[in-house]
Structure 1
Amino acid sequence: MSTLIIGCGYLGIRVARRMMAAGHRVFATTRSRDRAELLAREGMEPILADVLIPESLDDLPAVERALYCVGYDRSCGAPIDRVYVDGLRHTIGRLASRAKRLIYASSTGVYGDLGGDWVDEETPADPQTESGRACLRAEHLLTEFAKLSMYPVTILRYSGLYGPGRLMRREALRSGQPIAADPESYLNLVHIDDAASAAVLALRTPKPGPRYLVSDDRPVLRREFYELLAEALGGPAPTFTEASGDGPIRGNASKRISNHRIKSELGWTLDFPDVTTGIPASLAAE
């Protein structure tokens, strides 16, 4: 069995490791020769490709399934809409003739502020950030292509990924800087290891559903998250200030993501059901 991972970064490399551990052949794209060497040392078959350069995608291999998890790298110099939408447009036509089906990593950022209400797969998307709007435009592009071509696609909408090396505002907490966010609004997260296991399940399930929300079992108030993280870091208790600019949405938007469907349909289980176990494990792994 073979898998292609387009965008083998923080999420993709963990998915690749799990697929290889199960004996699967894994191809992985990267824009960097240095990273290609790292992927090769881990046993993957790297492909130098950039979704913003269409001709670099001409040599994508034929595989059973593909995972598209291209994140936004601000250092690339391109606007987020170009990376998410144009990059996907450049890729999907080539991919559809070479992979039998596709899993696409999106974001729960496609939802806006719901005042703390629960969100599931049927909740209408209403993005209120630039990144959320770019994600939704990419999803629309993909679903229209899938509908016209009858190409099987599953979208995984991820809550915020955290884990070793990726813990929000850690330096600000250590130095005692105030956090620009509403401490009484809800935050939705998923540990990177659980995020990877969700993608693996979707890849290995012959006919997964069209869309799943991937989040841990318990949305937490921002106050709780930052208090737990500050304590684990040995820093001062967090303080909060009003968000500004794009921050009122990012820091104050409140919703609770339900993971019921992916657990019931795909049998997803979590190693880290909430941040009380995920934060200590992340720090220990570093």
Structure 2
Amino acid sequence: MATLVVIGLGYSATRAVEEVAPRFDRIVVTVRDPARAAGLNASGVGSVAVEALAFDGTAASDRLAAALHGADALLVSAPPAADGADPLLACHRTDLDAARRLAWVGYLSTVGVYGDAGGGWVDETSPCRPVSPRSAARLAVEGAWAGFGAVRGVPVVMMRLSGIYGPGQNALEQVRSGTAKRIVKPGQVFNRIHVDDIAGAVAASLARPDVTGPLNVTDDEPAPPQDVTAFAAELLGVPPPPEQDWEAAWPTLSPMARSFWGESKRVKNARLRRDLGYPLRHPTYREGLRALLAAG
């Protein structure tokens, strides 16, 4: 019986579970909230039945330990703990060492590990110079998982994700709700990735465990954020929000938004396409937003 264990069932991991469910007989997921775990056990993830466990990363869980011992694949989507460590490695390293069936580990990371490239191109061979503490912690955890894989002889892939969008979390929703901003910072560009392509990349990686190490999971076209907002407004047939100067908008931004705006880079996905052989379903934000609009 093939078993998948998912640590941290958030937005991206939820879609990945739906994508890869047919490959597994048993799927065990963790969430922080015991009440949410109970709800998932009753309702499943979409149409997928799961065993949901409460795990907040502060203490080992006997039930999670048992699941890890029988795991064939492990998808880690939980963020680093407050001390910067990976919660699963911190609490269950002994159980992971004992997971003799484990044949694949996927870690969902971020392109933020590259830091600021001044709008230049980066790929998996580029030096990592994270700016934010959050991205620095991600890079350290990547190293910890790579070390685990080397010691155990288990394939580990670190999927570095760009700005994630998809159902309920996209520029169309922001324009509709009136929360969209068209902030202009000359030279600023980001990449993005549709959540369906994250799920697709996870599925492709499970089929190609020989492709290990860092892997940029990102779209083909880095673009200024104001262009994406304007395109979303065009699709909806409404005027785009007015442009705002970067410096004037800065005091209104959340710390998370400021960390994004403090970095500018163009991220290459050649390894995703060439080595993993994964064709993007939504190569740019245009295809992604059109598909979201068509889906309602």
TM-score bucket of the superposed structures, by smaller chain: 0.7 to 0.9
- 1: CA distance, partners of 2:43 / 2:283: 31
User: 8 Å contact 1:156–1:212 — kept in the other structure?
Assistant: yes
Q: Which residue of 2 aligns with 1:7?
A: 8
Q: Which residue of 1 aligns with 2:77?
A: 69
Residue 29 of structure 1 and its aligned partner are, at CA, apart by 2.3
Identify which of 41, 48, 57 aligns with 1:43: 48
Deviations 1:109-168 (A, max 9, x none): 111111111110011111112321221121122223333444431111111111011115
What amino acid is aligned across from residue 48 of structure 1 in structure 2?
L
Residue 196 of structure 1 and its aligned partner are, at CA, apart by 0.5
- 1: CA distance, partners of 2:135 / 2:191: 15
Q: Which residue of 1 aligns with 2:168?
A: 165
User: 8 Å contact 2:18–2:46 — kept in the other structure?
Assistant: no
- 1: CA distance, partners of 2:97 / 2:25: 20
What amino acid is aligned across from residue 58 of structure 1 in structure 2?
A
Alpha carbons of structure 1 residues 17 and 284: separation in structure 2 relative to 1, 3 Å:
same
The reply to whether residue 279 of structure 1 matches residue 289 of structure 2 is yes
Q: Which residue of 2 aligns with 1:58?
A: 65
Deviations 1:201-251 (A, max 9, x none): 112223222221110111112221121123334443232232357555422
Alpha carbons of structure 1 residues 278 and 55: separation in structure 2 relative to 1, 3 Å:
same
Residue 169 of structure 1 and its aligned partner are, at CA, apart by 8.8
What amino acid is aligned across from residue 133 of structure 1 in structure 2?
A
Q: Give matches, 1:193-208, under 5 Å.
A: 193-208=196-211
Moved more, 138-147 or 190-199: 138-147
Alpha carbons of structure 1 residues 51 and 94: separation in structure 2 relative to 1, 3 Å:
farther
Alpha carbons of structure 1 residues 174 and 265: separation in structure 2 relative to 1, 3 Å:
same
- 1: CA distance, partners of 2:238 / 2:186: 18
Q: Which blocks of at least 5 consecutive residues in structure 2 are unaligned?
A: none
TM-score (ref. length: structure 2): 0.82
Residue 179 of structure 1 and its aligned partner are, at CA, apart by 4.3
User: 8 Å contact 2:180–2:229 — kept in the other structure?
Assistant: no
Alpha carbons of structure 1 residues 248 and 30: separation in structure 2 relative to 1, 3 Å:
closer
Q: Which residue of 1 aligns with 2:96?
A: 95
Q: Give matches, 1:103-122, under 5 Å.
A: 103-122=106-125
How many residues are aligned here? 279
Q: Which residue of 2 aligns with 1:241?
A: 245
The reply to whether residue 261 of structure 1 matches residue 271 of structure 2 is yes
Q: Which blocks of at least 5 consecutive residues in structure 1 are unaligned?
A: 73-79
User: 8 Å contact 2:182–2:225 — kept in the other structure?
Assistant: no
Residue 44 of structure 1 and its aligned partner are, at CA, apart by 2.9
Report the secondary structure of 2:67's partner residue. Answer: coil
Q: Give matches, 1:199-238, under 5 Å.
A: 199-238=202-241
- 2: CA distance, partners of 1:6 / 1:96: 16
Identity of aligned residues (%): 27
Q: Which residue of 2 aligns with 1:85?
A: 86
Identify which of 222, 244, 260 aligns with 1:250: 260
